[in-house]
Amino acid sequence: MRGSGKPERESALLEIENLHASVEGREILRGIDLRVNVGEVHAVMGPNGSGKSTLAQVIGGHPAYAVTAGSVLYQGKDLLAMKPEERAREGVFLAFQYPVAIRGITNAYFLRSALNAVRKARGQEELGPVEFMDALEDKLKVIGWDDSYLNRPVNDGFSGGEKKRNEILQLAVLEPKLAILDETDSGLDIDALKTVAHTVDKLRRPESATVLVTHYYRILTHITPDFVHVLSGGRIVKSGTKELALELEEKGYDWLREEAAVG
C-alpha cells in the first residue's frame, strides 16, 4: 500500500497484493494493494462502479467473482483458497450491501446455527437454545432491538434499515476478527445511521480490524478511520487519513478521475 509505511509483519491481518478480479468476464479489480493491521479502521471510498463492492465480495468469497491475478493473505494464510464458510469460521465477516431474505427460517435459528458453526470451528462448545438466548440478550440491547425480531424469518419483510441492523446484530454475535462493511450506511436515515455506526464503533476490539466500504463521508463522522483509500477504475488511486475523506466530501470524485487521467 502506497504511503502507509511498513508495519510489523506480525500485526498484519489482511494483505492484498495486485488483486485482479472479474465478474461475467468483465474485469472490475485491476491491481489492488492493501494491508490492514489489527486494531485499524480502514475506509474504502469511491464513486459508483469503482469496484468497492467487488473488493468486499472477493474477500467474502462470492462464487460469481473470479480472481484472475494477485493474492490475499489473511493471518498469513491464503484466503482465496478458503470456502466462504471457512473464511467466516476464521473470523472474516462481510456485512452485505443487500442482505438476503431467507423465508421460513427464523432469525434466532439462523443466528444460533451460524454462531455454533463458528464456535465449533474455534473449538468452543455449541450453545443450546436457552444459553444462546442468554448470550443474545446483550447483543440485542446494543442495536436496540427486542426479541420479536428473532422469531421473524431472516430479513423477510424487513425494511432496508432493519436489514442493515440485522447485519450488525450478526456482526455482534459472531465477533469476527475482520469485519468488512459493504455500504452498510447506504439507505439509512440519520438516526439509524447513528445507531449502526455507534454499534460498530462499540464492537471494535484491539485484536480486530474493520474495513468500511462506503460512498459517503457521513458514516466517517461517527467512526474515525485510521486510513482512507479511494478506489477508481478498479485501483486504489489515493490513500490518506481522515482528511482525504473530508476532501472528497467537498470536491466529489471527479477531480480524482481527472488527476488519475493526467497522472
Partner 1 sequence: MTAAVDAREHHLALFKAFAGNGAAGSPAWLRDLRGQAIARFAELGFPSTKQEEWRFTSVAPIAETTFALSHGRDAPGVTASALAPYWIAGPGAIRLVFVNGTFAPALSAAAELPRGVRAGSLRAALASDAELAQRHLARHADYQTSPFAALNTAFLSDGAFVYVPAGVELERPIEVVFAVATDGEREALVAHPRTLVIVERGARATVLESYVAPQGGVYWTNAVTEIALAQGARLEHYRIQRESREAYQVATTHATQDRDTVLRLHPVALGAALARHDLRTELAGTGGELILNGLYLLRGRQHADHHTVIDHAQPHCASHEYFNGLLGEQAHGVFNGRIIVRPGAQRTDSKQTNNNLLLSADARADSQPQLEIYADDVKCTHGSTVGPLDETALYYLRSRGLAAETAAGMLTYGFAAEILGRMEHAAVRDELDRVIRGRLADRTRGGRRGAT
- Tell me if 104 contacts partner 1 by CB under 8 A: yes
Among 6, 9, 100, 157, binds partner 1 (CB under 8 A): 100
Judged by beta carbon, residue 66 or residue 224, the one nearer partner 1 is 66
Residue 179 near partner 1 by CB under 8 A: no
225 is an interface residue for partner 1 by CB under 8 A: no
The Cα 99–Cα 199 span in angstroms is 18
All three cell numbers of 242, joined, read 481522515
Question: Which of the stretches 108-116, 200-208, 229-237, 249-257 binds partner 1 when contact is defined by CB under 8 A?
Answer: 108-116
| Residue 112 makes contact with partner 1 by CB under 8 A | no
The burial class, CB within 10 Å (0-12 / 13-18 / 19+), for 117 is: middle
Residue 216 binding partner 1, by CB under 8 A? no
The CB-of-117 to partner 1 minimum distance in angstroms stands at 4
149 near partner 1, rule: CB under 8 A? no
For the chain, give the secondary structure using H, E and C: CCCCCCCCHHHEEEEEEEEEEEECCEEEEEEEEEEEECCCEEEEECCCCCCHHHHHHHHHCCCCEEEEEEEEEECCEEHHHCCHHHHHHCCEEEECCCCCCEEEEEHHHHHHHHHHHHHHHCCCCCCCHHHHHHHHHHHHHHHCCCHHHHHCEECCCCCHHHHHHHHHHHHHHHCCCEEEEECCCCCCCHHHHHHHHHHHHHHCCCCCEEEEEECCCHHHHCCCCCEEEEEECCEEEEEECHHHHHHHHHHCCHHHHHHHHHC
- Between residues 1 and 173, which has the closer beta carbon with respect to partner 1? 173
Does 12 contact partner 1 by CB under 8 A?
no
Out of 31, 39, 153, 187, which residue is the one contacting partner 1 (CB under 8 A)? 153
**Residue 160 binds partner 1, judged by CB under 8 A:** no
Q: Based on the shown chain and the rule CB under 8 A, indicate whether residue 124 belongs to the binding site for partner 1.
A: no
**Could you say whether residue 69 binds partner 1 (CB under 8 A)?**
no
- Interaction between residue 82 and partner 1 (CB under 8 A): no
74 binds partner 1 (CB under 8 A): no
Q: How far is the CB of 100 from partner 1 (least distance, A)?
A: 4
Q: How many residues bind to partner 1 according to rule CB under 8 A?
A: 31
Footprint on this chain of partner 1 (rule: CB under 8 A): 60-64, 83-85, 87-89, 93-94, 96, 99-105, 110, 113-115, 117-118, 121, 153, 170, 174
